Structure 1
């Protein structure tokens, strides 16, 4: 935010370079955590390894109900890495003198585009181009001319939804903290920090679960069709 003191802003100025500097800082923190967790594996984990194993187990459990355990493990590297980056980016803005990279649309938009292109790539790779885009038309062929453009718009809107939800919430949190520190610059109320930490965690969770949801919709097309009711079978059963 222009005019708000940040340590890196004092060095690089309050422009795009400040966000790049915070982005590099977040990357260094994430890599440092990964290095600490993997420098000495133990059968009975402790310290950072214990925390990271619990985190990875939680990510798998999150995706298990959405996409199945096998696929949840397959896409674990993507979801876990994005989750770590977003969480550290969100939390670092709570510390006075730093700013969240995710409060900048230039950061959240590439993240949304990464997810968008990846889940479409996975859907095409697994099902083929024709079969993948054919499911956009829906199960009723007569409604295909209506459903296909609606599905295209729906998928494109996910880019806006992912990027602006994260950007808007974190930007709002940063503005809230800015006003709070202006009113009470030395003693900021503890409940406000707890609320901001919860918000950072919640936004990370939402982004991660949506990655699994979008991947499930892209790679599990056949399963969706099998679960969909068959009008012919229903009619025969009724007779």
Structure 2
């Protein structure tokens, strides 16, 4: 189980504090960001009426998530939040898929990644709510249906961050553990490729979509 217990770390001493960074997560995140940037450049390069493969894939993502975002929000708000929703799904999809490649690790297998994205979505949703409704109307909702429900309403909102983050982390980490256990049980003579396909591709796709849609729903709930 050394693959899970051994973590490549960077250590930084700053003002008397010792900061530890997960180097593998940082490197893999940068690689994924680079791949997405290259994909975007190739997709928009020499766009044609009959699209090339990169342009066709990009148009599928854009059209699909534009429709989903427009249904959850009105068209004006969709123009603001659609780029985030589409980019979030593509980043999570590639982050979950990249573990299928030998010697590559999923950034989402590190709790810091899904938790960071969950906090980002939480802050963005509440910012959108305050901007749309005004702070007074936004704050009043925490005292509904009766004023003493406010602590429970606050806890419920904070629980959304835990729920969305740990769901993604648990599924990706759980898949990695199952693959390692099965591989060790057969003494490394057989690496079940169907497990990589199932957990890496199928479960990875579902979890990326669920995380993205929940983020969209949280924004929609706050602005309506």
TM-score scaled to structure 2, two decimals?
0.85
Match of residue 105 from structure 2: 99
Please say if 1:115 is aligned against 2:111.
no
| Alignment check: 8 A CA contact 1:102 1:167 kept | yes
- How far did residue 39 of structure 1 move? 1.9
* Alignment map for 1:143-154 (pairs within 5 Å): 143-146=146-149, 148-154=150-156
**Distance in 1 between the 2:59 and 2:113 partners?**
27
* Alignment map for 1:144-223 (pairs within 5 Å): 144-146=147-149, 148-182=150-184, 183=186, 185=188, 187-196=190-199, 197-220=201-224
- How far did residue 169 of structure 1 move? 0.9
| Alignment check: 8 A CA contact 1:60 1:69 kept | no
Deviations 1:37-68 (A, max 9, x none): 11222223221111011011111233343334
Please say if 1:14 is aligned against 2:8.
yes
TM-score scaled to structure 1, two decimals?
0.80
Q: Which of 59, 71, 78 is 2:65 aligned to?
A: 59
Unaligned runs of 5+ in 1: 221-239
**Distance in 1 between the 2:63 and 2:211 partners?**
17
Unaligned runs of 5+ in 2: 10-21
* Mean Cα deviation higher: 36-45 or 148-157: 36-45
- How far did residue 184 of structure 1 move? 6.7
How many pairs align?
209
Deviations 1:149-177 (A, max 9, x none): 22111111111112111111111111222
**Distance in 2 between the 1:122 and 1:188 partners?**
47
* Mean Cα deviation higher: 88-97 or 66-75: 66-75
Please say if 1:77 is aligned against 2:83.
yes
Please say if 1:23 is aligned against 2:29.
yes
